[in-house]
Amino acid sequence: MHAELLDPSDLHIQRCAQALQSGELVAFPTETVFGLGAAVSQLGAIEGIFKAKGRPSEHPLIAHVAPGADLTGWVAELTPTMQKLMNAFWPGPLTLVVPKGERMPFEVTGGQNSVGIRCPSHPVAIELLKATGVPVAAPSANRFGKVSPTRASHVLAELGDRIPFILDGDVPEVGIESTIVSLLDDQPAILRPGAITAEQIEAVLGVPVKSHGEVSKTPNANPRVSGALEKHYSPDAKVWVLPASELAALELQDKTLCVGWTDEFLAQADALREKFGEVLVEALSDKPGEVAKALYATLRQADELACRQVLFEKPGQTPVWEAVNDRLKRASA
Ligand code: TXA
Ligand code: MG
């Protein structure tokens, strides 16, 4: 098989919606990362997602819905808490884990009674979901354990020989996977940090939210969240996360990509280049959102440029950097 790469014209979106309805896989852009979609009603296609990714089939998938979609039967109940979060953050990068409805197949939920559901804000995703008419299960469109794709070319490189369609679209605004909040227990809990923070969710709900830090300290917290595996989101290059002050003492042998944003880090990286030669330096904007947006493409670039390692500037240890720190920790594990 060789994937067709389609620009997001109305005609192509209709064609991809029909493909989804008839049980084929379609990769599509969202505001977080590209997803590998299958209609939740097409169990053969759901199985195909796990095959294409090489992902264990007990890992649950996120079901994507269009704005205003009727969730009856897909989730057990529309609670006031859900409603508040949907009103505040949908469409957008927030996944709600809630009790599943009877129409939602266990194949999507990894055999669990709960389902992760989200309404993306990328216009191409919205048009595709509207045209498809049923929820679309979609993990990130990468091979298991690898860096999530933020360009259609990333999907083509990794899954092009395994899926029939890749829908293109504007570069994801957010760049890292959605925040996942579980509403299964009395206290909402962050299972995966993302662009929407615990503080923002607390402000909307008016109740305390268990931070990702607290959740991950609980033994066996949620082994079903594949993003919770220690090593995940990794390029082939080795990733080191370190502050500017540690660059000067390094001895480099292999081709290296340095990525940072402070003047100090970039100056130290330039000094490394003068000393050792094969050192590439990439400057990012110092805003957490901009670093998140560029993160995965930058990690992939290291592989594309045949760098053996990446030296990534260590971000601040503050809530606004939590999601980036989380992904960097896993990429460097
Ligand atoms: O931003 C995103 O969420 C992207 C785009 C494509 O929407 N999707 C994504 O999917 O990151 P994936 O499969 O790579 O990660 C989904 C995470 C997994 O770690 C999965 O275990 C968790 O969501 N998840 C889904 N349903 C769940 C459930 N019922 N209980 C606990 N975790 C769940
Ligand atoms: Mg993923």
Is residue 246 domain-resident?
A: yes
Structure-token match 């994801």, residue found? 172
* Among 159, 192, 221, residue at a domain's last position: 221
CATH code of 304's domain: 3.40.50.11030
Is residue 288 domain-resident?
A: yes
Same structural domain, 214 and 271: no
Instruction: Give the integer Cα–Cα distance in Å for 129 and 19.
Output: 12
Instruction: Give the integer Cα–Cα distance in Å for 205 and 297.
Output: 34
Structure-token match 């599509």, residue found? 28
The number of folded domains in the chain is 2
Same structural domain, 26 and 148: yes
**Mean model confidence pLDDT for the chain:** 95
Same structural domain, 71 and 158: yes
CATH code of 50's domain: 3.90.870.10
Sign of CA dihedral 241, 192, 175, 263: negative
What per-residue confidence (pLDDT) applies to 220?
60
For the stretch 26-66, pLDDT in tens is 999 999 999 999 999 999 999 999 999 998 888 999 999 99
Give me ligand 2 centre to Cα 36, in Å. Answer: 10
Q: Is 333 a residue whose pLDDT tops 80?
A: yes
Same structural domain, 142 and 28: yes
What per-residue confidence (pLDDT) applies to 55?
87
pLDDT exceeding 70 applies to what percent of the chain?
96
For the stretch 207-254, pLDDT in tens is 999 999 889 887 665 545 555 566 677 899 999 999 999 999 999 999
Our answer on whether the CB atom of 138 is closer than 6 Å to any ligand 1 atom is yes
- Which of 46, 225, 233, 326, when mutated, tests ligand 1's pocket best, judged by the most ligand atoms within 8 Å of its CB? 225
What per-residue confidence (pLDDT) applies to 1?
77
Our answer on whether the CB atom of 225 is closer than 6 Å to any ligand 1 atom is yes
Under the banding of pLDDT at 50, 70 and 90, the label for residue 160 is very high
Residue with CA nearest ligand 1 atom 27: 116
- Strand order, beta sheet including 4-6: 4-6, 165-167, 26-28, 35-39, 136-137, 62-64, 114-118, 94-99, 179-182, 189-192
Residue with CA nearest ligand 1 atom 18: 225
- How many other CB atoms are found less than 10 A from the CB of residue 278? 16
CB 162 within 8 A of CB 148: no
For the stretch 116-140, pLDDT in tens is 999 999 999 999 999 999 999 999 9
Preceding omega of 91 cis (within 30 degrees of 0): yes
What SS3 state is found at 122?
A: coil
Is residue 226 domain-resident?
A: no
CB 165 within 8 A of CB 38: no
Our answer on whether the CB atom of 212 is closer than 6 Å to any ligand 1 atom is no
Same structural domain, 68 and 176: yes
- In a 13 Å sphere around the CA of 276, the CA atoms on its Cβ side amount to 22
Give me ligand 1 centre to Cα 35, in Å. Answer: 10
* Among 188, 221, 254, residue at a domain's last position: 221
Same structural domain, 308 and 182: no
Our answer on whether the CB atom of 301 is closer than 6 Å to any ligand 1 atom is no
Q: Find the domain containing 213 and state its range.
A: 4-221
For the stretch 10-31, pLDDT in tens is 999 999 999 999 999 999 999 9
What per-residue confidence (pLDDT) applies to 145?
85
* Among 221, 250, 284, residue at a domain's last position: 221
What per-residue confidence (pLDDT) applies to 64?
99
Is residue 315 domain-resident?
A: yes
H or E element: which one contains 254? none
Q: Which atom of ligand 1 is nearest to the CA of 62?
A: 25
